[in-house]
Amino acid sequence: MRRAAVRLLVLAALVAVTWAPAWGGAPIGLRLGQRIALPGSAVKTVVAEFLDPEDTKLGRPIALVLGGELLDAISDLPGAGVLVGTDAEGAGILRRLGGGYHRAAVAIAREQGAIAALWGTIEGTRDRVELESFVSQVPDTALGGLKVELEWAGRAVPGFSATIPPRSFHLASRTLTRDELFARPLAILRGPRSVRSEPARSAPALGLVGPDDAVQGMDLQGGWWRVTLENGTAGWLEHDENDVRIPPRQMVALGAKIPIYDRPGATEPQGKRSFRGTYRVLAARYTARGTWVRVPLKPTNETKGDGSGETAWVPAASFRAEYSLPVVHLIAGLYRYRMQRYSEAARDFHAFIDAAGSAEDNVTLAVAYQLAGLSRLQGPARDHDALEDFRRSVELTPFDASAYALRALGGITVADEVPKTAIEDLNEALRLDPRDPTARDLVGAMQKLLSTPSVDARIPQLEHSLRGREKDVWILQARREAYPDSAYGRVSK
């Protein structure tokens, strides 16, 4: 049997980057009818100011941090962008929108050509807050949902497909202190930038900082960072989406030996060290050779946390970033999937799953596993890992017909045939929901394959694997026909 004869072909509006502008961010207002920000960006998301009913004054700062962390997560993606939407003029837009804030955020994202909107609410005090976050993929746009089809010898196999519609996620709430949000190193991409005595452009300048300077963020008020410089100077630095980058506070080692360097971007390592556990990020640099972080050589629980002791520069990709909210990983995975970086997308979806842990609800975790499985099916030699992702999705949501239908499609893709397990999954999918579109399409395609010999020359393995299972397919077809397409607004082809 020819290996990899059948594979998944992504049909939704994927981004083929034929040119590579720098990844970047841009501020926008919370209103419709404004200019399109980052018009050359291939993929972008809107991070909207968090609703702040208890007036903690943290709605805008939290959006700036999450937008900055998302920029860090996609820093290797040319053409990707992040839009941070805030009520910077203090016009009271958030209060006026009230319960319509979600619809407004999605409408702004749609107008801006973004794939998703991230927003949330804040409860608590100015020193400790509980963040509830939401992500909505934007419907009714070219990048809103996605469709995948089986491909044979460069041609799509009609009906062997799945449509994954845009989704909305209500993420588990997270409680964070002010230090956990804002006490972190900052990276200056361009310079010089002024550090001032007060959080105002008219305040006297205390000094200048540039890309090679160590800048430690201590707090964020409005759009101004309270910072400490390497020489001990304390002052205020105005935030800028393109000049002031926000790396994660901590990185999680993946248990491997990692090359260490004496400076960011160096080509010759000083050696290798084993890293295990969580490490505080002391500094970060964004270079042509990727993102680099300076970390202690001992994990956080074995150090004072003040940067003293031995340190080294390492490639950030050697660790898993620990962002303020796990949702940053989820959105980064959507970016990479859209830009056809499938192996890295799977890594991001699993980073979300690992960071979210048992606090997240089963439905959200199941969708993340489905996205990881679809990503792995696109990459080389990752097939069986994809099946494990689909298995976990079914395990988490055994009541969800689409989980079984996607696992059936994955099993067909991996096996280059229609295995018995795919028949069983489709039977369960139709038992749970006879209207599930993926299950219905797959069953209809199998029935057509058995009844149309003319397709044998093009997809012999699929057709051959169904011989001897005609009765099973007939039973599935009967269940499918009990709910005709016209009963719920679909048109049979």
Annotated domain spans of the chain: 250-322, 378-488
> How many Cβ atoms sit within 10 Å of the Cβ of residue 217?
22
Task: Report the distance separating Cα 72 and Cα 328, nearest Å.
Answer: 10
Query: Quick one: residue 92, left, alpha or beta (phi over 0 = left, psi -120 to 50 = alpha)?
Result: left
pLDDT in tens, 159-181: 888 877 888 999 999 999 999 99
Burial 348-361 (b: 16+ CB within 10 A, else e): bbbbbbebbeeebe
pLDDT in tens, 413-457: 888 888 999 999 999 999 999 999 999 999 999 998 888 755 444
Q: What is the predicted pLDDT for the residue at 2?
A: 36
Q: What is the predicted pLDDT for the residue at 302?
A: 67
Task: Report the distance separating Cα 210 and Cα 420, nearest Å.
Answer: 62
Which stretch of 58-67, 96-105, 113-122, 232-241 has the lowest confidence by average pLDDT?
Answer: 96-105
Query: What CATH number labels 378-488?
Result: 1.25.40
The pLDDT confidence band at residue 490, using thresholds 50, 70 and 90, is very low
Residue 462 has pLDDT above 90, yes or no: no
254 near 318, Cβ under 8 Å? yes
Residue 19 has pLDDT above 60, yes or no: no
Task: Report the distance separating Cα 73 and Cα 316, nearest Å.
Answer: 10
Residue 4 has pLDDT above 80, yes or no: no
Task: Report the distance separating Cα 162 and Cα 485, nearest Å.
Answer: 16
Residue 282 has pLDDT above 60, yes or no: yes
The pLDDT confidence band at residue 118, using thresholds 50, 70 and 90, is very high
Of 37, 23, 14, nearest in space to 77 by CA: 23
The pLDDT confidence band at residue 87, using thresholds 50, 70 and 90, is confident
Cβ-based neighbours of 479, under 8 Å, separated by 6 or more: 427, 430, 431, 434, 443
pLDDT in tens, 295-336: 999 887 666 555 557 999 999 999 999 999 999 999 999 999
The pLDDT confidence band at residue 373, using thresholds 50, 70 and 90, is very high
435 near 483, Cβ under 8 Å? yes
Residue 38 has pLDDT above 80, yes or no: yes
pTM across the whole model? 0.90
Task: Report the distance separating Cα 169 and Cα 224, nearest Å.
Answer: 30
Instruction: Output 486 or 75, whichever has higher pLDDT.
Output: 75
Residue 115 has pLDDT above 70, yes or no: yes
Alpha carbon separation from 84 to 180, 230, 240, 272, 351 (Å, rounded): 20, 29, 11, 39, 23
Angle 369-371-377 (CA atoms, 0-180°, nearest 5)? Answer: 100
Q: What is the predicted pLDDT for the residue at 23?
A: 62
Angle 351-356-361 (CA atoms, 0-180°, nearest 5)? Answer: 130
Q: What is the predicted pLDDT for the residue at 417?
A: 86
Task: Report the distance separating Cα 389 and Cα 366, nearest Å.
Answer: 9
The dihedrals phi and psi of 187, each to the nearest 5 degrees, come to: -115, 130
Beta bridge partner(s), residue 29: 86
Which stretch of 2-16, 18-32, 94-108, 447-461 has the lowest confidence by average pLDDT?
Answer: 2-16
The pLDDT confidence band at residue 143, using thresholds 50, 70 and 90, is very low
Task: Report the distance separating Cα 21 and Cα 29, nearest Å.
Answer: 23
Q: How much is the mean pLDDT over the chain?
A: 86
Q: What is the predicted pLDDT for the residue at 20?
A: 37
Q: Which segments of 11-164 are extended strands (E)?
A: 24-29, 43-48, 80-86, 116-124, 128-137, 146-152, 155-164
The pLDDT confidence band at residue 459, using thresholds 50, 70 and 90, is low
Q: What is the arithmetic mean of pLDDT over 328-355?
A: 94
Beta bridge partner(s), residue 133: 120
Rounded percentage of the chain residues whose pLDDT exceeds 90: 62
DSSP string, 237-249: EE--TTTEE---S
The pLDDT confidence band at residue 226, using thresholds 50, 70 and 90, is very high
Cβ-based neighbours of 370, under 8 Å, separated by 6 or more: 164, 389, 390, 393, 403, 406
